[in-house]
Each structure stands twice: as C-alpha cells, then as structure tokens.
Copies of this chain bind each other. A is one copy, B any other.
C-alpha cells in the first residue's frame, strides 16, 4: 500500500481527522511540489523570453524543461506540440475557437459523448450552434456504463469534423477505448479531441499508441497547483491554426497595419504565462512517476472496491458502477430518498469531503435518470481508514434521516 506517501501531503497533516474524497475535483499537493514552486520564486524568478540576463535565462530554462518533461510523460518527443493554458477548460475552448472555427461549416457534424464534462460539451454545442452544424451526442451502454461504440460507429459520417470524447468520465470513471475511437475517426477524416483531465492522474498515458489530434489535461487534478493546463495538438494542426489570444510574446512583428505571429507553441501563449504552474506540474509528474502510476491505480481501485463492497452491504445505497469495472478511484452513488446534497452536507459536517451534484456533467446525470449524485473519489493518499469513515458517515446520514 501507499500509506507512507500520505505524510507528503501537508493539507492532510494540517487537518487531522480530514477524510478527503474529492480528488476528482482537485487533488491535494505534496510538499515537494509546493517547495519546488516556492524555490523558483525565491531563487530564479524573472519574466521569461527576451530576457538577456541569467535570471531570465534560468526561468526560461525551467519553463521549457517542464514542457519537455510533460511531453515525455504523455508520450510525445515533440515538446513544441504542447501549449500551456490555465486549465483543461481553456485548452478545449482554444481548440473550438481556432481550428473549430476554421473547419466546421454549415451542415457539418460534431460528435460528443453524453458523459462529457461540460468543458468538453458546451464549447462544441456552442460552436455547432454558431455554425449551424449538428451536435451528435453518443450515449453509453446502460448496463456497463461504457461508451456505446456501436452508436458512435453509426453516428460518424464523412461530415463529422470532430469526435470529442473523455478518456475517463469524471462521474463514472469509465474509460472509453481511445484507440478504437481514434481509428474510426481517422477512417472518416474526423479529428479527435480527447479530454484526459480525469485519465492522466490515474492511468499511464501514451499518445503515441493512438495518435490523437488533440488532447487536454489540467495540472491541479494530478498534484500540481491550480491555474495550469495543457493542450497537446499535432504539430501540423498547431502550425495551421490561427492564434487564440493575441498580445505580447506571441508575435513576430507588429506594424500599425499588420501582425505576424511566432511559431507554435508561442503563438498560443500570449502574455506572461504561469511559470510557477509549469514548474509545479513538472515536479508533480516526477513525484507521480516516482511512485508509479500502476501502483497508484492499483491502490485507489482497491479502496474504491472496498468502499463499494461496504456500501452495498449497508443496503439503501445505489451504486452505479459494477465492482468488476472499477479500475480507478471514482465511485458514484446515491442513497434512496436522501438528496445527494444532504448526504454531502452531513458527511462534510463530519469532515468527510465528497462532491454532490451534477459534477459538471448534466447531460450524463439526466441520461442516468438522476437529478444529482454523490461522488467519492480516492487517490494515492487515501487509506482504508478513509473508507471506514465514509461508511460511518453514510450510516450517520441514514440515522439523521431516520432510515
């Protein structure tokens, strides 16, 4: 087990009695990540690019070293294929607003799955509306909760411009077969946009195995600080796309009449970036790989399965995932007759942190016939004690509601 890593997380040390089961919303940060970022501000800080002095060169080197490290982590040898953004949401908006605007025309189609986070749903819905294109929503199998591949196959046509799909549902934890999706999309000349925000904290990612056109992630869901996200784009796309924002650090030449832009990724990084965020993600990746994503996945799945088992034993708890499908720490459930927000409030009162609501995935929640769900999400720093506390909390909730 990974018990010994728990002490690396100051929030858990500084809040004794806290059972943090909301890592799918955002993970806590290990001390080493905070220290490396802090060290940057205390020793090496300066604005990057164009600085002709050592401090700025050091800052630039740290920033670009992060790019190289993240590229390696996701399985590409081309650091320039990574654009740094604020979060996964911005990465997705960037795609829709640039190449999306370029290639989607009236009558074209965009395919999304019903289990997308709003971040990979609303930008496409809005793009389709602007362009008079069609948004096709592919469902999931109601039994396995897996993406309905047959439905995707019959939805895709020669008019499909984008297939946008999560790599791991933030509500269900299910992980679509991206290799199949990618192959299918290529066959029809559609571009793929994979949302890896919820995948990459738990599963080893190697984009060279399925060759996505675009892929996004968020640092704060994988031990880095908030405010830093990544967009991977195939170099040929990035080269052909117009910039998203314009301003400093992304231009080649500005005259009163005309502006020419730098090469990617600078073309997409207007203004002073969040260097500390890049450094924190670099440190987080080192930390994650030092433990090993395999071990993390094994650990969190074991806890989720244990919780699943104990919740089933209570009765009155509706569990959406089949135990045999659990292979990460995400566990959605509901208690009959008690609204998820009341569950979460009672748990919260006991310092057990879970999320309740639509989880920014309303289309999925409605598809499942619910108003809302409770989600407990386990990560590397959780322990069996957290499972026990969750169970005690659920029992308390039933008591409060006289069930």
Say yes or no: A274 contacts B274, CB within 8 Å. yes
Say yes or no: A248 contacts B117, CB within 8 Å. yes
Q: Residue A313 at the B interface, CB < 8 A?
A: no
Q: Residue A47 at the B interface, CB < 8 A?
A: yes
Q: Residue A303 at the B interface, CB < 8 A?
A: no
Q: Residue A105 at the B interface, CB < 8 A?
A: no
Q: Per-residue 0/1 for A124-136: is the Cβ within 8 Å of any B Cβ (1 yes, 0 no)?
A: 0110000000010
Say yes or no: A34 contacts B28, CB within 8 Å. no
Given contacts A86-B86, A254-B363, A277-B227, contact A42 B270 (CB under 8 A): no
Residue total for A at the interface (Cβ-Cβ under 8 A): 91
Report which residue of A20, A56, A276, A355 has the largest number of chain B beta carbons within 10 angstroms of its beta carbon. A276
Q: How far is the CA of A157 from the CA of B255 in the complex (A)?
A: 24
Say yes or no: B51 contacts A353, CB within 8 Å. yes
Q: How far is the CB of A361 from chain B (nearest CB, A)?
A: 9
Say yes or no: B272 contacts A218, CB within 8 Å. yes
Q: Per-residue 0/1 for A31-68: is the Cβ within 8 Å of any B Cβ (1 yes, 0 no)?
A: 10010001001111111001111111000000000000
Say yes or no: B118 contacts A357, CB within 8 Å. no
Q: Interface-forming stretch among A8-16, A177-185, A201-209? A: A8-16
Q: How far is the CA of A21 from the CA of B352 in the complex (A)?
A: 49
For A22, give its contact among B51, B118, B273, B347 (CB under 8 Å).
B51
Say yes or no: B360 contacts A249, CB within 8 Å. yes
Q: Residue A345 at the B interface, CB < 8 A?
A: yes
Given contacts A41-B225, A86-B274, contact A259 B52 (CB under 8 A): no
For A256, give its contact among B26, B258, B275, B363 (CB under 8 Å).
B363
| Count of identical protomers in the assembly | 2
Q: How far is the CB of A162 from chain B (nearest CB, A)?
A: 15
Query: For chain A residues 272-314, which have a beta carbon within 8 Å of chain B?
Result: 272-277
Q: Per-residue 0/1 for A81-122: is the Cβ within 8 Å of any B Cβ (1 yes, 0 no)?
A: 000001111101100000000000000000000100111111
Given contacts A226-B275, A351-B53, contact A43 B26 (CB under 8 A): no
Q: How far is the CA of A168 from the CA of B247 in the complex (A)?
A: 17
Given contacts A247-B118, A251-B118, A363-B254, contact A270 B90 (CB under 8 A): yes
Query: For chain A residues 227-241, which have a beta carbon within 8 Å of chain B?
Result: 227-229
Chain B residues whose C-beta falls within 8 Å of the C-beta of A273 in the assembled complex: 86-87, 226-227
Q: Residue A137 at the B interface, CB < 8 A?
A: yes
Chain B residues whose C-beta falls within 8 Å of the C-beta of A125 in the assembled complex: 254, 256, 258-259
Say yes or no: A246 contacts B53, CB within 8 Å. no
Chain B residues whose C-beta falls within 8 Å of the C-beta of A161 in the assembled complex: none
Given contacts A126-B259, A245-B93, contact A276 B225 (CB under 8 A): yes
Closest chain B residue, CB of each to CB of A57: B348
Q: How far is the CB of A197 from chain B (nearest CB, A)?
A: 10
Say yes or no: B11 contacts A45, CB within 8 Å. yes
Chain B residues whose C-beta falls within 8 Å of the C-beta of A354 in the assembled complex: 52-53
Chain B residues whose C-beta falls within 8 Å of the C-beta of A51 in the assembled complex: 22, 25, 353, 355
Q: How far is the CB of A194 from chain B (nearest CB, A)?
A: 16
Closest chain B residue, CB of each to CB of A345: B52
Could you show 18 A-B contacts with beta carbons less than 8 Å apart?
A11-B45, A22-B46, A22-B51, A50-B357, A53-B344, A53-B347, A53-B348, A89-B245, A89-B248, A119-B248, A119-B271, A122-B254, A123-B245, A126-B246, A225-B276, A226-B276, A228-B274, A253-B362
Which positions in A face B, CB cutoff 8 Å?
10-11, 14-15, 18, 20, 22, 25-26, 28-29, 31, 34, 38, 41-47, 50-56, 86-90, 92-93, 114, 117-123, 125-126, 135, 137, 218, 220, 225-229, 244-249, 251, 253-256, 258-259, 270-277, 341, 344-345, 347-348, 351-357, 360, 362-363, 366
